[in-house]
Amino acid sequence: MRAYERLLKYVKVNTQSSEETGVTPSTPGQWELARLLVDELTELGLENPSVNQFCTVTAWLPATPGLEHAPALGLLAHLDTAPAFSGKDVNPIVHEHYDGGDIVLPKEGRVIRAADFPWLSRLQGKTVITADGSTLLGADDKAGIAEIVTLCERLIAEQIPHGRLCIAFTPDEEIGEGPDHFDVAAFGAKYAYTVDGSTPGVIAYENFNAASAVVDITGVSVHPGAAKGIMENALLIAQEFNALLPADAVPGKTEGYEGFFHLDALNGTAAACRMEYIVRDHDKGEFTVKQGLMKRAAAQVQAAHPTARIELTLTDSYYNMKEKLADCMHLVDNANKAAELAGLTPAAEAIRGGTDGARLSFMGLPCPNLGTGGYNFHGPLELCCAEEMDTVVDILRNIVRLYAE
């Protein structure tokens, strides 16, 4: 079975995660996909396919005879899709022999425009998969799951020599909770890759350092008719706070290695409000500077409004995996060689975000990220290329063979 055929089945399971439920996994659909995958891995003949109480699917492919002492290699992907856009009732559409032009989706008047995405020309003549415009597709990261399962099938069917492979599919990556309950020691891999990126042949071993910032502002609320010299409007104080941050250091004005402050939510009234930010920077020093800037802004606003209360809570989320991969760059070298063997020109890319691999690297499992052949994640213009998914399976096969050698 080709990887995209598995993708077509997986995307029909609604695994959209949620930040609101407070349980693991955050949504019941992730259990449904997890059980489906356990059945598939059992049918393929992997060792001990199971799903634990935290909805993490694990299975192992024993080393072929003579390769028992090769380093155990892990491959991971995540079960959930992003909470930002609906993953319910996904209707995948297969566009064969794509002509390179605009892709008109049948619902909501949405169009994937070639002018907006010049790289689409690279997919001309290939098979492109989209949703119908009313949902996301779910290639993030069901394409990665499909590719890993297909790899296992090929390794077994073609009797390709390999060391021990450790497979895991985790829940709730999209809400930053994927590795919360992951048992690295029990997993058993010395090194791993997450298969959760975009372009095949691209390896990501750098990502943002990340923190969340919550600013709680309690104003002084009185009748506006008698407010002079007394009222402290929490919403206006919030504006003052935000104005103290660099206006150009926002997602819409940054790229590459440039970090940012992202005001993600502002809720409340004149009496009290809450601001929710995410803070990002690839450079650890600049990341620290950004956090310090927020602390100074909070202190400055508090000093200007002594009868109000401004509380800043900064919480680190994850760090740049690069520092943990410095001593095992063979992971990058072998991924590059594997891409070349698959006929691609490899490239490195710094993720403007994070993956499970970032946290796992700091948990003792060095874990760069590989592309899947999916694009435009987290929205209705998401798409995936069947042939590029085949290429990813080839890259994974090549990585496995390189470590076996």
Q: 191 with 73: CB under 8 angstroms?
A: yes
Q: Of 374, 403, 391, 405, which Cα lies nearest the Cα of 166?
A: 403
CA 362, 250, 138, 371 dihedral sign is negative
Question: What gap in Å lies between CA 366 and CA 378, rounded to an integer?
Answer: 26
Q: How buried is residue 229: exposed, middle or buried, by Cβ count under 10 Å (0-12/13-18/19+)?
A: exposed
Active site residue 43: no
Please tell me whether the peptide bond between 25 and the residue prior to it is cis, using omega within 30 degrees of 0.
yes
Q: What are phi and psi of 268, to 5 degrees?
A: 145, -160
Question: What gap in Å lies between CA 306 and CA 89, rounded to an integer?
Answer: 52
Reported residue count of the chain is 405
Question: What gap in Å lies between CA 331 and CA 350, rounded to an integer?
Answer: 15
Q: What are phi and psi of 279, to 5 degrees?
A: -120, 130
101: left (phi over 0), alpha (psi -120 to 50) or beta: beta
Q: Of 320, 212, 336, which Cα lies nearest the Cα of 257?
A: 320
Question: What gap in Å lies between CA 295 and CA 302, rounded to an integer?
Answer: 11
Residue among 80, 206, 232, 394 flagged as catalytic:
80
Question: What gap in Å lies between CA 104 and CA 130, rounded to an integer?
Answer: 10
Active site residue 177: no
Residue among 40, 147, 172, 173 flagged as catalytic:
173
DSSP string over 210-269: EEEEEEEEE-B---GGG-TTT-B-HHHHHHHHHHTS-TT-SGGG--TT--EEEEEEEEE-
The one-letter amino acid at 211: A
Instruction: Determine how many CB atoms are found less than 10 A away from the CB of residue 212.
Output: 15
C-alpha pair distances (Å), 351 with each of 172, 251, 400? 19, 13, 24
DSSP string over 294-347: HHHHHHHHHHH-TTSEEEEEEEEEE--THHHHTT-THHHHHHHHHHHHTT---E
Residues involved in catalysis: 80, 173
